[in-house]
Each structure stands twice: as C-alpha cells, then as structure tokens.
Structure 1
Amino acid sequence: MPLITANTKGVFVIAVTPFRDDGAIDHASVDSMVDFYFDKGADGLTILGIMGEAPKLTQSEAIEVTRRTLARAGGRPVVVGVSAPGLAAIGELTKAVMDLGAAGVMVAPPSSLRTDDQIAGYYRTVVETIGTEVPLVLQDYPLTTGVQIAPKTLGAIFEAHPSIVMLKHEDWPGLQKISDLRDAEARGRRRVSILCGNGGLFLVEELRRGADGAMTGFAYPEMMVGVCRLSAEGAHDAAQDLFDAYLPLMRYEQQPGAGLAVRKYVLARRGAIASVAQRRPAVPLNAAAIAEVEFLIARQQRKLEALG
C-alpha cells in the first residue's frame, strides 16, 4: 500500500461509515462504497473522520472498518483518522491500521489547546507516540475543534516534524492561510501537501491559491475530481462552471447537524450504500428535507446537461 507524501495530490474522499438499520456496521456497503468512490475517480480515501462517525465506533470496530476498506481498495491509498482524547488510544489505533497497510493517519488537535506552545507541544507528543516513520496528516479544522492554528505555528510544526507530510486545511475563511503557507515554502520552508475540506465549498479558490486537491466528502466526488483536473489544466472557467452546477446541493449538505444525513441520503440514492442509517445520536431527514434535496438534485442534473 503506498504511503502519502509531501507531494500527494488529488481527491481523497472522506468516507462515511455505512450502518444497517439496526446500527451494526454494514460490511457489504463498505465494499460498495469503496467501489463507488474509486469508480468516480477518487485518488484515495480517508476513513474514520468526523463525518465517518468515528467517535461512535469502538476501537475494534474502527480496526475492522479499516481492514475491510483496505482489502477493497486494491492497493490504493487510504488515510485513517485516529484522533482521540488520549495519546494511548492514538498510538494503539495507529499501530493497528499501519500494520494493516494504511497510507498514513490523521490527527486533529483536542479542543483544550489554546496557545501556540500547547499546539506545537501536542503534535510533538503525537509524533513521539506514533513514530517518525508514520506519515501524519495534521487536521486544521477550527470550526469544529475550536483550535486556531496560525500559519507561522503550522510552519514551525512542519519544520520540526518531517513526518507531518500533509495539512488537511479546513479553516474558514482560510484562503489567505494557503497563500501564506505556499509563500513560506517559496522562501525555503519544506513543502507539505495541502488537501482541503469544508465539503468542497471553496475548492475552486483553494486550488488557485496553491492547494493540491480535496479531502472532503461531498456525495458527488466526480465534481471534485473534475474541478481538480480542469484547474490543473488551467481551464479555470470550465472548472468554475462545473463547480457552480453542484454548488446549491453542496451548500445544503453543509448544514450543521443535518449534513451527514443529507450525504448518506444521496449516497444511498446513488447506490453507494444500502441504508441512510446513522448511529445514535443522529439527526435524520424528514419528508420536507428530502423533498428539498430531490429538488436540488433535479436542478443539478439539468445544469449538467446544459454544460454538455
């Protein structure tokens, strides 16, 4: 299984975790979901993230989902989220998934961190815990974690720990942060891969600022694949047109609390997973919300047909 590096590019889809209606993991849907994402052009997957309902899984379930995903991925890279309140759990899960063949692991900072020294110290202990041979993704998602990491602090962390090869950039607004990080690299700081989240809402601008791709979970991954390809070709108007066709549904999917239900509904509708079920506590879609999603999907299809 290939490892991620500081030069990794493309679309790593944040995968949902499929459940049956009774709350058990749906192993058959793990297979169909992996097939779906790669059939739509994904370069890799990221599992057990926030939208993968990782906190609702036991450690043994997390390992089993990883094993099943890696087996189905057929040698393509899979990053595993291993964030946890304690370093012991991070270390244990990291060893298990890397032994299974993961391409790297992702860790978000705990919400208790407040100062630059605390943030830098935390990632120093993470690297010490998991080992310098493990490729690490630093997840910068202040809207969820509450931890603000300035570009200067990120740069210091990157310089101190070469095994941190990727930033999952989810600051909002955060476009200037991408520019600042790339400017620092132009002045001599080592390069890191930057893949962006936030449901892809700012993907066009992020790519033009220097991002290497997307690491997020919109239910139409082919949009992100197409936008990344067109942007790399310099076809920025075409990339924007493609992005615009999907934007209303992307916006709808970004609702706090309801977003995962929307994503799972669309993925089930597209045949990627068998059930829309989430593990409790969960916020299901009601009939009015489903009607709104169907309306947006229909409009999206008409826009795509107009694009040809």
Structure 2
Amino acid sequence: MALDETAHGVYVIAPTPFHPDGRVDEASTDRMTDFYLEAGCDGITALGVMGEAPKLDGAEALDVATRIIRRAGRAPVIIGVSAPGFAAMRALARGVMEVGAAGVMIAPPNTLRTDDQIVAYYAQAAEAIGSDVPFVVQDFPAQFSVVMTPAVIRRIVMANPNCVMVKHEDWPGLEKITALRGFEADGSMRHVSILCGNGGLFLDFEVERGADGAMTGYAFPDMLVDLVRLSREGQRDAAHDLFDAHLPLIRYEQQMGGIGLAVRKYVLARRGIIASDAQRKPGSALSARAKAEVEYLLSRVARFDKRALKLAA
C-alpha cells in the first residue's frame, strides 16, 4: 500500500525495543506492532527520532524496518530514512520499499540555513530515493534547527510530486496548519496529508485547524485514536475532556534531552507492550523520583481513562 495524500488518522511513532544489554528485542517489536494495530492505529512510523535510528547500523535498521513491515501486514508503514548522505538514504529507502514500506520520512540536516537551501535539499533527496517513492517532509525545528515557513513547504510540495505528507511538529504551529490549508483553498498548493507530532501536545486543536491526525509516539496511542475520531465526529467537548485527562502525562513526556523517550518507554513497559524500557547507549534512564512522578500521573489519568489501570506487574 503506497502512501498518498489521503492518509489520515493515527500513524504511531514506534520506538525501537532493546534488551538491557543493547540488543534489539524482536519479541517486543512484534508485540508492540500487534498492539498498535489492535489499538486502532491507521499506520506505523518506524526509525524516527524516538526510534533511536542513529544508534542502529545499516543492517539493523533494515532488519527492524522489515520486521515491523511484515508484522503489520496490510497496514501502511513509513520508515525514517534521514541520513548525512544521500547514498545511505537511498539504500535504506529502496531496501524498505522492496519489502513493502508505504513510504519514507526525510528530515532536513541542521546545516541548512536559507529557504533556497531547504528547497534544493528536498529536491535532491527526492531524486536520490527515486520518484516512485512517496515521502514525508519532517518539519521539526526544535530538533533539527531548520525553520520551514509555510511558503517553503509549499515550494517543496509543488516541486516534488512524490511529497505526499507533512509531519508537522513546529511549535507554535497552529497558524502554520491554517496557512497550508489556506494555500490549498486558494489553489496555490495541491493537497497533502498533515499529521502532527510533538507528543500530541497540541493535537486537540491541530485536528480542528485541518490536520488529518497524529504521527507521534505518546504511550497511549489508543487515546490518540479516540481523540481524532471524536474530533472528526464533531464531539468537541468529549475530545477535549479526554485530551485534558492525559495532558499532564503528555507534558511530562515532552521533556528534552532523552528524558521524554525514557518516560515513553517506561510507560510502554508498564503497559506490557515492551519488555524493557532500555535505551541503547548513549541513553538515559528515569530516576526513582521520576518513576514515582510518572506513576502518580498514571493514577490521575486512570481517574478518567481506565486504560491507565491496566499496567503490567
């Protein structure tokens, strides 16, 4: 199933499960993939920022991607292929497409400084992976230090027919969504899917602004599925009530410096989805005090959403 501009819903960002000794945990990878689909996710994105992709070598990256793609069956899987050079990017992109990926995601290198440089980079990347490979522009200034204005995104979309989605995680970014949908309305940009990241921190209003859903890895993707559905159904208060119950944990998960990933993996392990919250070195781990804070937040979420009660021993 090739990714296209009609993609919508929740494409959950998958972490890479590791054993405590740093080996890839294949059994947890399978269980995690199954859980995401059972939770109602429309697709999966692997080897993103939260997938610790730079810690994998080329063979491992292809192996992890292949395992998730095959386990997911007909569900679309997007693979992050960002790399310092186009040779590595092309090799991984072609490799994952050959085993059934729906498309790939490309982040900009932090060396880009001008609008023209950004546009030229994506033109070269699109050429490197091949015009038959659908790709996602990852717009994440806080991580990559590259600021893409709505006009720059429009230039990238219009110059590259195989650009079918924007992963939007600018912050603040609500007005950017409105601007991009405005370009579509006035005919100056063709339609592309917009899925939003940032841990879901602004998803309640992002969907209302015209986003098609979420592409993030919050440890309750089943909540994200419900939130997007409720919003689409026009049940605004119900959507916001659900979001508000999870917001303190979403906020806590948004800490920078690797702490956010540690929180996410800890909660996924507590839910029994992965066996260990281990990160491959260099990585971070939660202190006993931080774990106690997460447990407190889970108890508060459980007052509204009983899924937070179903935790592994």
Counterpart Cα distance in 2 of 1:301 and 1:220: 12
Counterpart Cα distance in 1 of 2:261 and 2:125: 29
Indicate the SS of the match to 1:274: coil
Indicate the SS of the match to 1:303: coil
Query: 2:46 maps to which residue?
Result: 47
Unaligned runs of 5+ in 2: 307-313
Counterpart Cα distance in 2 of 1:140 and 1:96: 24
- Letter in structure 2 aligned against 1:287: A
Query: 1:182 maps to which residue?
Result: 181
Count of residue correspondences: 304
Query: 1:86 maps to which residue?
Result: 85
Counterpart Cα distance in 2 of 1:246 and 1:105: 30
Counterpart Cα distance in 1 of 2:150 and 2:19: 42
Q: Is 1:163 the equivalent of 2:162?
A: yes
Alignment of 1:291-306 (within 5 A): 291-304=292-305
Query: 1:199 maps to which residue?
Result: 199
Query: 1:33 maps to which residue?
Result: 32
Alignment of 1:49-128 (within 5 A): 49-128=48-127
Q: Is 1:225 the equivalent of 2:222?
A: no
Alignment of 1:208-247 (within 5 A): 208-247=208-247
Q: CA deviation at 1:304?
A: 2.5
- Letter in structure 1 aligned against 2:103: G
Indicate the SS of the match to 2:305: helix
Q: CA deviation at 1:56?
A: 0.3
Q: CA deviation at 1:162?
A: 1.2
Cα deviation code 1:249-303 (max 9, x no counterpart): 1010001120001000100111110111100111100110000000000010012
Query: 2:5 maps to which residue?
Result: 6
Counterpart Cα distance in 1 of 2:159 and 2:278: 42
Counterpart Cα distance in 2 of 1:93 and 1:304: 39
Counterpart Cα distance in 2 of 1:104 and 1:169: 17
Query: 1:260 maps to which residue?
Result: 261
Counterpart Cα distance in 2 of 1:55 and 1:102: 19
Counterpart Cα distance in 2 of 1:254 and 1:39: 25
CA RMSD of aligned residues (A): 0.7
- 2:70/2:100 contact within 8 Å kept: no
Cα deviation code 1:84-139 (max 9, x no counterpart): 11111101100100001000000000000000110000000001111111000000
Counterpart Cα distance in 2 of 1:4 and 1:198: 22
- Letter in structure 2 aligned against 1:40: A
- Letter in structure 2 aligned against 1:276: D
Q: CA deviation at 1:25?
A: 0.3
Cα deviation code 1:136-188 (max 9, x no counterpart): 00000000000000101110111111100000000000110000000000011
- Letter in structure 1 aligned against 2:94: K
Indicate the SS of the match to 1:157: helix
Indicate the SS of the match to 2:303: helix
Counterpart Cα distance in 2 of 1:304 and 1:192: 33
* TM-score using structure 2 length: 0.96
- Letter in structure 2 aligned against 1:195: L
Query: 1:144 maps to which residue?
Result: 143
* TM-score using structure 1 length: 0.98
- Letter in structure 2 aligned against 1:234: G
Q: CA deviation at 1:58?
A: 0.3
Counterpart Cα distance in 1 of 2:243 and 2:223: 7
Off by >4 Å, runs of 4+ in structure 1:
none
Indicate the SS of the match to 1:278: coil
Counterpart Cα distance in 2 of 1:167 and 1:242: 26
Counterpart Cα distance in 2 of 1:279 and 1:129: 29
Q: CA deviation at 1:38?
A: 1.1
- Letter in structure 2 aligned against 1:74: G
Q: Structure 1 vs Structure 2: percent identity of aligned residues?
A: 59
Counterpart Cα distance in 2 of 1:40 and 1:76: 13
Q: CA deviation at 1:75?
A: 1.5
Counterpart Cα distance in 2 of 1:71 and 1:134: 18
Q: CA deviation at 1:39?
A: 1.3
